Structure 1
Amino acid sequence: MVLVLDGFLDAGNAAARAAQHLVDLSDAPVPGGKVVATFDVDSFHDYRARRPAVSFVRDHYEQYDAPRLVVRLLKDTGGTPYLLLHGPEPDNRWEAFARAVREVVERLGVTRTVAMGSVPMAVPHTRPIAITHHANDHAEPVAQSPWRGELRVPSSAQALLEIRLGEWGHPALGFVAHIPHYLAQLDYPKASAVLLEQVERGGRLIIDLSGLRAEAEDREGEIERYLETNGEVAEVVAALERQYDAFERSEASGSNLLAEDQPLPSGEELGEQFEQFLATLDEDPRPGNETRGDDDGEG
C-alpha cells in the first residue's frame, strides 16, 4: 500500500502530485481506481485551519471540495494490484487513525506500506534530488541512510503510523525528498518523479513516469527563465551549488570539513564561555555604573 498524507510533509506538493499521478494512470476497471475504504474526515479534520474551497457563482455557492481520505485499489503498468491511501493528514486523533489503518492493512492483506513525503532544504535545484529513506523494524530500507546519530523533529501522522505498524508486526518504509527551499511553495514534479522511482523499488511496482517527467522538464524550463531575469535569486542558487559541491567533494574524499589543528572545545569549556558572555550582559558600560541596579533593588 502506498501512503501519502497531504499537509506537513509535502514541500513542493511533491508527494500529493505523485499520488495524483498514480490515480490518473489508473483507468481500469474504474477510472481513478475503486475506493475500497474511506475514513471519517469530520472526526479529525480542522476546517478552520484548512478550509476547503467552494465556488461562488454569481449569486450562490456550489462545487464544495469536501476533504476525503480514502484507500483506492489501483494497478501498476504491469497489471500488479496495489492500494493507495491518500488525502489530508489528520489534525487530531492520530492514534485512532493508526488503528483504523491497521484494520485496513490486516483486512485487505497488505504486505508492506510505502510512504512518500518531502521537506524544504538548503539545496540547489540543479543537483540531484536527495532522498531520506526510513523503515520500521519489520521492513528493510532500500538504501543506507545518510544521517548519523539522532535528530529530533516535529512528528507527523505518517511517522506515528510507521512506528505503530512496526509494533503490530507490519512492515512499513518511506521516502522523503529534499526540496530546494526557494521552490517549496511551487509544484515541483521533478521531485514527484523521483519519489515514485523510489516507490517502484520499495513497493516492487512498475510505474509509467513519462508524463510526469515531461511536466518536470517544463517546470525546470520555467525556473531557468525566471533565474535569467532575477540575478539575486540566481546568486542564491549559485551559492547553494558551491556549498553542495564542496560537501560532495568532502564526502567522496572521506575528509572532515573541520579545519585541521583546531580541536573542538569540550561541552564544559563551551558552558564556561557562555556564562562569561551572559555576565557581560549584566554590566552597564557607562562610567560609574558597573551594575544595572543597586543592592536594595532600586534603579
Structure 2
Amino acid sequence: MLDPAELYEVAEDAPELDEPVLLVALDGFVDAGAAARLAVASLQVDREALVVARFDVDQLVDYRSRRPSLRFETDRWTAYNAPELDVVQLHDTGDTPYLLLSGPEPDTQWERFSAAVEELVQRFGVRLVINLTAIPMAVPHTRPIGVTAHGTRPELTEGHEAWFATAEVPGSAVGLMEFRLGEAGRDAMGFAVHVPHYLARAEYPQAARVLLDHVGLAAGLYLPTEALMKAAERAEEEISEQVEASDEVKQVVLALERQYDTVSEGRGDRASLGLGGELPSADELAAEVEKFLADQDDDKDGNS
C-alpha cells in the first residue's frame, strides 16, 4: 500500500481536541430519501466549519463517473465546482466540538483511505467514529422509522434491536473503514435509517431527523434538528395528500402497514422488510409508486 499520509493534509491551524467524536457521511453510497445529505446540511446550518484535514480528491475520485460542474459564460469557462472531501470541526448546540468527514465517497483506494482515516483518528484522539447512511426498506411512512445499528464491539449497539441476522450487501468505503477500524481496536459504529422504498428517491427529512437523534445519543452531542423537524412536518402533509389522491398508492401503503404490524407483533420475519425494499404487491402497484415519485419530482420542478 502507498503511504496513507500522502492522501491528506492536516491544516496548520488544526486545533488540539479532547477525545472528539468523528461523524462520517459520504456521497455516492446508498442514501435513501437523501437522509444523510439532509443530516449533514442540518449540522452545518449557521455553524462555522473549521477545516482540520483535507483529502486529495484527485487521487480518490473518478471524475468521469461523477463529473463535477464547470460554468461556461458566452466564450469562456468562469467557475469550477471542485469536489471536496474534508474533515471539519463543528460545535453542537451545547458548544461541544466534534469532527465531520463529508464529501464524495472514494471511487478508488479504499484500503488506503481507511488507513488514512485511522491515522486521522489517532492524530486527533478520536474516541468514536460514527457513519451515517439511509437504506430503502419495505416499510410504510405511517409507522415509526426504524434504524439498523452496527459497531465494532457489541457494547456500542446495546439497546438497539437487530433487524437482520446475516445479509450480503454491496461494499462501501465507510463499511470497509468501520471494519478496518474494528480490526485495529478502534471504536466505530454506524446507523442506517430505514426509508420507505416508495420515498427513497425523494427527500425525506423525517429520516434525517431520526438519524441525527440516534447519532446524538450515541455521541453524547446535542445536534441541531429544528430545521429538519419543520421540513418533516411539511413533507408529511405533502405525502399524505399524494397518498390520498391515489387509490393504488394507498393500497401499497396499506399492504406495507399490514406487513409491518405482523412483523412488529412477532408473527412475521423481519427479512420481509429487508434491504432490497421489495413491494409485497403486484407489478402495477410498483409502477404506480414510480409514477407517484415522478409526480413529486414534477411538483418540485414546478415550484422551483
Q: TM-score, normalising length from structure 2?
A: 0.77
1:225 aligns with 2:246: no
Give me the whole-angstrom Cα distance separating, in 2, the residues matched to 1:139 and 1:113: 14
Q: Who is 1:7 aligned against?
A: 28
Give me the whole-angstrom Cα distance separating, in 2, the residues matched to 1:177 and 1:237: 19
Question: Structure 1 residues 55 and 233, CA, compared in 2 at 3 Å: closer, same or farther?
Answer: farther
Give me the whole-angstrom Cα distance separating, in 2, the residues matched to 1:244 and 1:256: 9
Q: Who is 2:215 aligned against?
A: 199
Q: Who is 1:240 aligned against?
A: 256
Q: 1:129 aligns with which of 145, 160, 166?
A: 145
Structure 1 runs (4+) deviating above 3 angstroms are 54-63
Matched residue of 2:126: which SS?
coil
1:141 aligns with 2:157: yes
Q: Who is 1:120 aligned against?
A: 136
Q: Which moved more, 1:58-67 or 1:229-238?
A: 58-67
Question: Structure 1 residues 57 and 181, CA, compared in 2 at 3 Å: closer, same or farther?
Answer: farther
Question: Structure 1 residues 25 and 197, CA, compared in 2 at 3 Å: closer, same or farther?
Answer: farther
**Does the 8 Å CA contact 2:27/2:102 hold for their aligned counterparts?**
yes
Question: Structure 1 residues 256 and 179, CA, compared in 2 at 3 Å: closer, same or farther?
Answer: closer
Q: For 1:1-299, what aligned pairs fall within 5 Å after superposition?
A: 1-26=22-47, 31=48, 33-137=49-153, 140-249=156-265, 251=266, 255=267
C-alpha deviation, 1:148, in angstroms: 4.7
Question: Structure 1 residues 139 and 44, CA, compared in 2 at 3 Å: closer, same or farther?
Answer: farther
**Does the 8 Å CA contact 1:138/1:171 hold for their aligned counterparts?**
no
Structure of larger gyration radius: 1
Which structure 1 segments of 5+ residues have no match?
258-299
Give me the whole-angstrom Cα distance separating, in 2, the residues matched to 1:10 and 1:76: 23
Identity %: 46
Amino acid at match of 2:31: D
Question: Structure 1 residues 138 and 59, CA, compared in 2 at 3 Å: closer, same or farther?
Answer: farther
**Does the 8 Å CA contact 1:138/1:172 hold for their aligned counterparts?**
no
What whole-Å deviation, never above 9, does each CA across 1:230-255 have from its counterpart, x for those lacking one? 22222211211111112212x2xxx5
**Does the 8 Å CA contact 2:39/2:208 hold for their aligned counterparts?**
yes
**Does the 8 Å CA contact 1:117/1:175 hold for their aligned counterparts?**
yes
**Does the 8 Å CA contact 1:133/1:143 hold for their aligned counterparts?**
no
Aligned residues: 248
Which structure 2 segments of 5+ residues have no match?
1-21, 270-304
**Does the 8 Å CA contact 1:53/1:65 hold for their aligned counterparts?**
yes
Give me the whole-angstrom Cα distance separating, in 2, the residues matched to 1:159 and 1:11: 16
> Considering only aligned residues, what root-mean-square deviation do their CA atoms show, in Å?
1.7
